Amino acid sequence: MRHHTEAQEAMTLPELRLAPLERIARFVFDRFLLLPLGAALAVVWANVSPESYFRFARALDFPVNEIAMALFLALMAQEVYDAMMPGGALHTWRRWGMALVAAGGGLAGAYGAYVIYVGMSHQLVLRQGWPIAGAVDVAAAYYVIKSVWRRSAALPFVLLIALASDAAGVVAMALRPRGVETHPAGLVLVLAAVAAAAMLRRRRVHVFWPYLALCGPLAWWGLYLNRIHPALALIPIVPLLPHAPRRLEFFADPHDTDDVHHFEQRWNVAVQLILFTFGLVNAGVMLRGYDTGTWALLTALLVGRPVGILAAVAVAVALGFHLPRRLGWPAMIVIALAMSSGFTFALFFSVGLVPVGPMLAELKLGALLSVVAAPAALLAARAFGLGRYSRKHHSEAHHA
């Protein structure tokens, strides 16, 4: 009996040591805290030891921003496409159309506010940065919505708005004289990637790896040759990937045995680690050099965009479009605030549109400061009692 007890103690002691670490890890992953943690570390590091930080960020910029983020954006696009299928949370044009209308309203509000602010400040040289005001940080929006709603139509709705808004920014950059140069070989590679994905789909390949291993590199290199951000490489083949209707759960619970959703569940941890490195590499902005460009961009993102989104949604509802399932106007306010962070995508557009100098520094600081939209959205969700802040959620957690 004594030996049995000692053996049992020997087995349980390591478990006891690991238990606190497991609880901490679960707390961090369940609340999607890795992105803000990486961003906070980057800001502190950049302002305490800028030389070492920017050396580190330059070393990881390419693998993180142009390779790892391709997987994240592909999974987000996959979620949206699933939600638009029959039986999905955004099925019917009245639901996915609402997201596109909201994206258009947000862009109009942001662009209008930016141009008006710049004009009133008599800083017309800043007008060239107007596409930056339309940028939506997909990662930040994802973080906010997943922090509030574990299962909701809000996530595909928000992701569709974000992807549509950023696509408009990419088009604006492409239309500029130095934005994108057409490379025939690149176009051929992208078409070859789509054709290969179509072939795999026709052969009923239901696992993701062949699509990622064969089609991904072809599309990535094709976009890279044409100077289009290669993180978008997998999006053209998303409609040809294996799909299953997405109702009200994203990154399904472990009991979901569907091959498609099981793949997404397994990548949940990987996605959050990608977001951590994404924040760490991109958020290191020096907290100085603010001026008219900073305030113009903040006004556009934090005022113009949410007002534009809510106004467009109100008009769309009057015209017969439908709000996402089980979501009302309080949720729309939270969503509008969650869409107001430009952050990393605004930084990307800034570097691509504005030459190095004081004006670029002003706009980059505005992009960084727009992250205040994330805590504002979380506070609004708490005030309205939505998602994890609802009484029902707290009651279920207490009984659990």
Under a CB-based contact definition with an 8 Å cutoff, are residues 271 and 74 in contact? Answer: no
The number of beta carbons lying within 10 Å of the beta carbon of residue 353 is 20
What is the structure's pLDDT at 112? 95
In degrees, to the nearest 5, what angle opens at C-alpha 290 toward C-alphas 286 and 292?
150
List C-alpha distances in Å: 6 to 12, 17, 18, 321: 10, 17, 19, 67
Higher pLDDT, 221 or 206: 221
Question: What is residue 260's predicted lDDT score, i.e. its pLDDT?
Answer: 45
Average pLDDT over residues 298-317: 96
Q: How far apart are CA 343 and CA 346, in angstroms?
A: 5
Cα separation of 76 and 100, whole Å? 16
CA distance 45 to 52: 8
Maximum alpha-carbon separation in the chain: 86
Please give the pLDDT value at position 373.
Answer: 93
For residues 103-123, average pLDDT:
93
pLDDT above 70 (res 324): yes
Of the candidates 340, 375, 324, the residue with the CA atom closest to the CA atom of residue 107? 340
pLDDT at 208: 76
CB distance 302 to 371 below 8 Å? no
C-alpha to C-alpha distance for 82 and 241, rounded to whole angstroms: 10
Contact, 365 vs 289, CB < 8 A? Answer: yes
The two structure tokens encoding residue 192: 């070859």
Angle in degrees, 0-180, between the axes of helices 259-266 and 69-83, rounded to the nearest 10: 140
Q: In one letter, which amino acid is 213?
A: A
- Looking at every residue in the chain, the average pLDDT score rounds to 80
| CA angle 390–250–70, rounded 5-degree value | 130
Cβ of 270: how many Cβ atoms within 10 Å? 13
Tell whether the model's pLDDT for residue 134 goes beyond 50: yes
236-261 pLDDT, tens digit per residue, is: 888 887 766 554 444 444 444 444 44
What is the structure's pLDDT at 251? 40
The answer to whether 176 and 353 are in contact (CB under 8 A) is yes
Angle at the Cα of 374 from the Cα atoms of 370 and 376, rounded to 5 degrees? 95
Burial of 167 (0-12, 13-18, 19+ CB in 10 A): middle
Could you report the per-residue pLDDT of 341-397, keeping only the tens digit for each? 988 788 778 876 777 778 888 888 898 889 899 999 999 999 999 988 886 654 544
Structure tokens at 35: 């992105």
Whether 196 and 186 have beta carbons less than 8 Å apart is answered as no
The pTM score is 0.73
pLDDT at 217 over 80: yes
